[in-house]
Structure 1
Amino acid sequence: MKINQIGNYNIQAYKQQQNKADQPVKGGSAPSDKVEISSRAKEMQEVSRLENDRQVKVDALKEQVQSGNYTIQAGSIAKSLKQFYHGE
């Protein structure tokens, strides 16, 4: 059995394509990439009212912790954990 031309044939095609990409485009500037963001995505990027409410709560808690007025309610935390893990 005789095997001729062992090797990668696609390398030549790849090099030719690479050479085309390196050459400047005739008659103007090179094409550029373009990204479009949908209106739904833009809405999602905007700061929501819920996020503002959360930030107000976080700022209030930070102030309480820094001033030393924040108290941990261990009973409430334990009750919530029990409900979460036991479904009661």
Structure 2
Amino acid sequence: MKEVELKLISELMKNSRRSDRDLAKAIGVSQPTVTRVRSRLEKEGYVKEYTMIPDFSRLGYEIPALTFINSKRRLARKKWKKREKSLNKG
């Protein structure tokens, strides 16, 4: 997966309602690039849907936690940490 794709997914996870123009500014590419990459990620199944995340504390939950698990494929811990670090640098 390319760096621009990882950055776009990271930004979409923060707020999937952002415009392609705003996302482009955040990851340092053009708006048409974001539109093209987003469309490809959707078509290839990397982005399945856009959803909202409620304010769990207002609903009475004390510790909100989201867990993403993929039991078919697992990235090695070292590889995942490397990707995570590269996303945090961008």
Query: TM-score, with normalisation over the residues of structure 2?
Result: 0.22
**Relative CO higher for 1 or 2, CA cutoff 8 Å, sep ≥ 6?**
2
Query: TM-score, with normalisation over the residues of structure 1?
Result: 0.23
